[in-house]
């Protein structure tokens, strides 16, 4: 019966593919930023209500949770998609480009949402054959810490859930490929905020100053020694400074410099170590130059750690789909608050390749020209749906 269900499900996805793409384009043209989502969750809730699903709105903030109960009792599978956009001005020139300046779906969340809605529609058509329950988690605010996942969990979105699956459309990976791994898949993502307070003065007379730019430069260069000399070389870790700001004329030595950066780790002990080592280095550098500082280390999402049995389940699902290739990938240094779901229930998060093979240039996620091959939506939908049907079997 499961094979027949999967064949029916795949046929339904093929039938609904144009609708899925149209939904993606609607969300793409009407992006809403993290914690500012209003119309998107309304559209999601209305779609599920039209299918007859039980719907909860405002879950943990702007989240939506819809539930489909099969005609027979069984396990409960949760499927999650995020729906927030980024503060980026789009430069793709697409016919369905963002209609709002300074907002863009530059990470694929529009595709995630469209995919999950059509998965829900296809599974709904098989409701009389289902043994179990499916929970569709539509999450707000993935892009901005503390993120929507933890608030939705606290509001009960995982109550009664036995397993959770999710995917990320991944533009750098080839269409037709599914990438995942047991254990760590994506890094813990933290932020650092630093102010170095020196003493300003004229650029012609540096001896009367405490050059905050020079101090910041020495700190940034030495910062890389934390990873290269304090962290096990077999354990991935990244410290990057992405913002340096000193508001002064060209011939004035800056009184103050403001730095922002990110730290990415997989190991909890090394995460703690880096937090302390950054301040130790900052303290020593400023002390030598007789400057002062402020330091804030803000913990973001924990690492995404897949469960082995559920990862094997996804890989076995893909093996049964000859048109796809399932590959075990190296951990990625990007962050994802899907991590919180995996801390509460078993599950797997996987990447769905979304690179158009005819593109001469592929723009990365969070780029103004970011785009995906829309054929990836149906692939993601089929993997999620087949994995669900297999699990409920």
pLDDT tens figures, 279-297? 999 999 999 999 999 999 9
Strand-pairing partners, residue 193, are 260, 296
Q: What are phi and psi of 252, to 5 degrees?
A: -120, 130
| The pLDDT of residue 393 | 87
Q: Residue 16 pLDDT more than 90?
A: yes
Rounded to an integer, what distance in angstroms lies between the CA atom of residue 119 and that of residue 109? Answer: 15
Q: How many CB atoms lie within 10 A of CB 369?
A: 16
pLDDT at residue 167 in the model: 98
Q: What are the boundaries of each domain within the chain?
A: 2-185+303-392, 188-298
pLDDT at 9 over 90: yes
CATH class of 2-185+303-392: alpha beta
> In this prediction, what percent of the chain has a pLDDT beyond 70?
100
Report which of 171, 148, 58 is spatially closest to residue 339, judged by C-alpha positions: 148
Q: How far apart are CA 287 and CA 289, in angstroms?
A: 5
Q: What is the pLDDT of residues 60-92, one digit of tens each?
A: 999 999 999 999 999 999 999 999 999 999 999
Q: What is the DSSP letter of 238?
A: E
DSSP at 203: T
Looking at every residue in the chain, the average pLDDT score rounds to: 97
Instruction: Give the chain's end-to-end CA distance (angstroms, integer).
Output: 9
Exactly one of 84, 110, 310, 337 is catalytic; name it: 84
Is 142 assigned a catalytic role?
A: yes
Residue for token pair 């994506």: 186
Q: Residue 3 has what pLDDT?
A: 82
Tokens of 208: 């009367």
pLDDT in tens, 259-270: 999 999 999 999
pLDDT at 2 over 80: no
- pLDDT at position 179 is 98
More confident residue, 1 or 9: 9
> Residues near 345 by Cβ (< 8 Å), separated by ≥ 6?
78, 158, 161, 162, 163, 164
CATH number of this structure's domain 188-298, picked from the four choices 3.40.50.2000, 3.30.450.20, 3.50.50.60, 3.30.70.360: 3.30.70.360
pLDDT, average across residues 120-135? 97
Tell me: is residue 168 an annotated ligand-binding position: yes
Q: Is the dihedral of CA 391, 52, 150, 102 positive or negative?
A: positive
Task: Answer yes or no: 17 catalytic.
Answer: no
- Answer yes or no: is pLDDT of 310 > 60: yes
Query: Average pLDDT of 379-391?
Result: 98
Alpha-carbon distance of 260 to 322, in angstroms, equals 46
pLDDT tens per residue across span 242-282: 999 999 999 999 999 999 999 999 999 999 999 999 999 99
Q: Is 18 annotated as a binding residue?
A: no
Of 142, 255, 337, 373, catalytic: 142
Is 109 among the annotated ligand-binding positions? Answer: yes
Of the candidates 239, 305, 235, which has an alpha carbon nearest to the alpha carbon of residue 267? 235
pLDDT tens track for 193-231:
999 999 999 999 999 999 999 999 999 999 999 999 999
**What tens digit of pLDDT does each residue of 355-368 get?**
999 998 999 999 99
Overall pTM > 0.85: yes
Cα separation of 69 and 6, whole Å? 18
User: Is it the case that residue 1 has pLDDT exceeding 70?
Assistant: no
């Amino acid at each position: 019966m499961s094979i027949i269900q999967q064949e029916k499900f795949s046929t339904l996805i093929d039938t609904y593919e144009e609708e899925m793409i149209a939904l993606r384009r609607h969300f793409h043209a009407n992006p809403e930023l993290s914690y500012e989502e209003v119309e998107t969750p309304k559209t999601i809730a209305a779609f599920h209500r039209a299918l007859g699903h039980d719907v909860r709105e405002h879950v943990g903030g702007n989240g939506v949770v819809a539930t489909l109960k099969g005609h027979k009792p069984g396990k409960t599978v949760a499927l999650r998609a995020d729906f927030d956009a980024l503060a980026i001005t789009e430069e793709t020139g697409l016919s369905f480009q963002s209609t709002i300046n300074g907002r863009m779906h530059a990470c694929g969340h529009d595709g995630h949402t469209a995919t999950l809605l059509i998965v829900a529609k296809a599974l709904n058509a098989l409701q009389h054959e289902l043994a179990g329950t499916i929970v569709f988690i539509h999450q707000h605010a993935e892009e901005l810490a503390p993120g929507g996942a933890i608030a939705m969990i606290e509001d009960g979105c995982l109550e009664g859930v036995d397993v959770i699956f999710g995917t990320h459309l991944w533009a750098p990976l080839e269409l037709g490929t599914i990438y995942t791994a047991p254990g760590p898949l994506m890094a813990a993502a933290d932020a650092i905020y630093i102010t170095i307070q020196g003493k300003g003065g004229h650029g012609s007379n540096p001896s009367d100053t405490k050059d905050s730019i020079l101090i910041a430069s020495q700190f940034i260069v030495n910062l890389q020694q934390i990873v290269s000399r304090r962290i096990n070389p077999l354990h991935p870790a990244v410290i990057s400074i992405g913002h340096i700001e000193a508001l002064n004329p060209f011939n004035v030595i800056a009184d103050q410099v403001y730095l922002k950066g990110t730290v990415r780790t997989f190991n909890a002990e090394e995460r703690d170590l880096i937090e302390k080592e950054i301040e130790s280095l900052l303290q020593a550098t400023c002390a030598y130059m007789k400057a002062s500082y402020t330091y804030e280390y803000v913990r973001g999402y924990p690492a995404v750690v897949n469960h082995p049995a559920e990862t094997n389940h996804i890989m076995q699902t893909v093996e049964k789909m000859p048109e796809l290739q399932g590959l075990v990938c190296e951990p990625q240094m990007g962050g994802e608050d899907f991590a919180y779901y995996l801390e509460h229930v078993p599950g797997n998060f996987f990447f769905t390749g979304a690179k158009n093979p005819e593109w001469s240039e592929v723009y990365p996620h969070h780029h103004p020209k970011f785009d995906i091959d829309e054929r990836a939506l149906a692939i993601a939908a089929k993997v999620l749906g087949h994995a669900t049907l297999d699990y409920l079997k």
